[in-house]
Structure 1
Amino acid sequence: MKREKTEFKILEAYHGDSILIKTYDKDFNEFIILIDGGTATTFRYSLKKELNNISKIDLLILTHIDSDHIGGLIHLFTSKLIEKIEIVEIWFNHPEILRRGKGSNISVGQSESFLDLLKRVKPYTNILSIDKSMKEIDKNGIVFTILSPTNEILSHFENVYEDELKKAKEKTKEKKISAKKNNYDESLVSLSKNDYIPLKSVKDDIFNSSSIAFILQTLDLKFLLLADSRPEVIEECLGELGYTVNDKLDVDYVKISHHGSKNNTSQSLLSLINCSEYIISTNGGTSDHHLPDRETIARIVHNKSRNKEKKLYLYFNYPVEVITRKIGNFISEEDLNNGNWIFQNKNEF
């Protein structure tokens, strides 16, 4: 099938991520990319519908093995629909991790047999382990610049995997302490001045910091896709690529990391990016983690290096009223009076 325009959807994936991109190569052949599958129920309620009329996925990317990214893919690969879809290539951050572990909040129990499932269902699919050392991957004019994970993070991931798995099991037995608090009283302008102080170090947040994050350059758009990556990792990589506050990375869209968590978006990272359209994938989060954080929105809107003469657009893949019912009025009329920006529900681009 021929194509001359890139289109993409940020699927309603509950509190997770699932992104379907339909683009084209130098020969105008359609090239379809599926990034993550959302939660387990995402397949039934949104992903299945999108894939019903697709016979070929050129590239499937599992950014990391959190359940809100891998759950829908497990359901896809155990469904009859998968028999009708050719998958050319699959990217993982660390395929062999999928063979290990038993049961956890981070769905390692589900992913334990996922690699074997893939090889059984799609034995001729090319499977690649992706890391930053691969730099650029060119698919006939569709260029992926890999920003994360680093080899150091992947090595640490493998070394601490069993310990992290035990911690995840213990958390399911303990009474959870809610992390849902959002600062509704303080203005976005004021919140934007708060220093970036993450709750965990990069190595203590290994499942997120090992996410595959990349710049996607198609023939007609440029997209920064951050999965659940850590800003320290992305910022360092962008610096190595030569981007600075005075010579920013220009992109058409940014998919904000980790559903708008303030632990995954820093002012210094945003200062390296020139973009007017940001996307947050969330339905409001879970009972324990309400997202997006107002601090993340504040950092995007009121970043010191942003050109405020140009209007900024913040998109949510769920209706704002759905998110508001779950986490409260996270954006006020007063917030919109400063910063030359608007927000709206939009998941088709």
Structure 2
Amino acid sequence: MDYNLLSKSHKIKITFFDVKGGDAIWIRFFGNDKKWHNILVDGGYGNTYKAVFGPLISKITKDEAIDLWIVTHPDIDHIGAILGFINDSQIKDKIKVLKQIWFNYSPSIVDTTTGKLGVNQGVTLRSFLENHGFVVMQSIDNNLPNQDLFGLKIKILSPDLKKLKKSKEHWKHSEQKVIKLGRTLKQSDYKNTIEGLNLKRFIEDTDPWNGGAIAFMIQFDSVQCLFLSDSHPSSVETSLKNLGYGPDFQVKFDLVQLSHHGSKANNSPSLLDLMKTSRFVITGNGINNHHPDKETLTRILTKDQRENDIEFVFPSETDALKNLFSVDNNPFLRWRFKCTFPPNNQGFVEFLFLSLTQT
């Protein structure tokens, strides 16, 4: 992977990495203190750290620091790679390179677990943070005022206090028994046409950890973006409505990362009605859990009063994703959309905003 990523041609750059269907995001911006700053979001599975975030962190910390690392929740496709950071012997002074971390961890004592989910990783991260004196902000919920990081404003949209409490209680029960995870290929909807999926009824995700996931929007100068992690849409919808947005006054985003890798249970029609954007980033790879659901993409394509052409951006390039619409008749022209993948198999997609003239 080419890590010549510290370009200073734009004031803000957002990068989504291919981590086998997990979340690994890097936000880099030129702050109001005239310095470059870095935010990491999640990091993917533990076995992707050496290929992705490890080299990235090494590159960043030669001259800069990680100002904030947001760990949205303890699922292993989100939290796994941070354990790589903990165990990375090449990073001697971790407090020096990582200024602040957001992580809603539970104080619960957890019995021996199966390792199927992420409680083990969450407990390991919790112990590391507590034992090494890291600055950890808690609780991160949608009652938190806007956070200002050198001119970049962060608004938390999820979780709400009720779902955050439920997710923390879930630590005690999540791995007490073996849990069968994932869906089979037969359970995916990739063989359905857009027309065949358009009338499906929305049923919201009930997973407590997803309900406790940190979802947020950022605003930097004129740029506004939405990062939904694995959040429940009802929480995000409530937060946006409390900010004054509605179907007749939609919030405009330069990009939206769909929730839960494009799951049909985490991206509701009513939430989509609150936002106005032409670019959706989808971190599912079409293999793990067969996310995204095609039904989610259909909701976006068939949305009432849609004005713009749609771009679906995938950090992963797999045959499953490239063939998502192979059963449809002339779908791209008919529904006015395109699918974008990493150029030259580079392993990431990046978005550059606000051209910065160097002097």
TM surpasses 0.5: yes
TM range (shorter): 0.7 to 0.9
Contact 2:119–2:171, Cα closer than 8 Å, also in 1: no
The residue aligned with 1:321 is 319
The residue aligned with 2:105 is 94
The residue aligned with 2:72 is 63
Contact 1:26–1:219, Cα closer than 8 Å, also in 2: no
| CA 1:143–1:186: 2 relative to 1, 3 Å | same
SS in 2 for 1:111: helix
Contact 1:17–1:69, Cα closer than 8 Å, also in 2: yes
| 315-324 vs 35-44, which moves further | 315-324
Aligned partners of 1:180, 1:162: CA distance in 2, in Å? 32
Deviations 1:282-320 (A, max 9, x none): 22232xx2111110111122211421xx22111000124
The residue aligned with 2:350 is 348
Aligned partners of 1:160, 1:8: CA distance in 2, in Å? 32
| Higher RCO (Cα < 8 Å, 6 or more apart) | 2
Identity over the aligned pairs, expressed in percent?
28
How far is the alpha carbon of 1:109 from its aligned partner? Answer: 1.6
Aligned equivalent of 1:51, options 53, 57, 65: 57
Q: Where in structure 2 are there 5+ consecutive unaligned residues?
A: 1-5, 343-348, 352-359
Q: Which amino acid aligns with 1:136?
A: N
| CA 1:70–1:180: 2 relative to 1, 3 Å | farther
| CA 1:176–1:295: 2 relative to 1, 3 Å | closer
Aligned partners of 1:11, 1:319: CA distance in 2, in Å? 11
| 8-17 vs 62-71, which moves further | 8-17
Deviations 1:17-42 (A, max 9, x none): 01011112223321100000100111
Contact 2:106–2:171, Cα closer than 8 Å, also in 1: no
Deviations 1:116-161 (A, max 9, x none): 22344x53x3111211110311123210111011111122223343
The residue aligned with 1:170 is 178
Q: Which amino acid aligns with 1:311?
A: D
Give the paired residue count. Answer: 330
Aligned equivalent of 1:338, options 316, 334, 337: 334
| CA 1:317–1:194: 2 relative to 1, 3 Å | same
Aligned partners of 1:150, 1:23: CA distance in 2, in Å? 28
Return the TM-score normalized by structure 2: 0.85
Return the TM-score normalized by structure 1: 0.87
The residue aligned with 1:283 is 285
| 247-256 vs 297-306, which moves further | 297-306
Aligned partners of 2:90, 2:321: CA distance in 1, in Å? 31
The residue aligned with 1:262 is 264
| 39-48 vs 64-73, which moves further | 39-48
User: Which of the pair is proportionally richer in helix?
Assistant: 1
| CA 1:82–1:182: 2 relative to 1, 3 Å | same
| CA 1:100–1:217: 2 relative to 1, 3 Å | farther
The residue aligned with 2:128 is 117
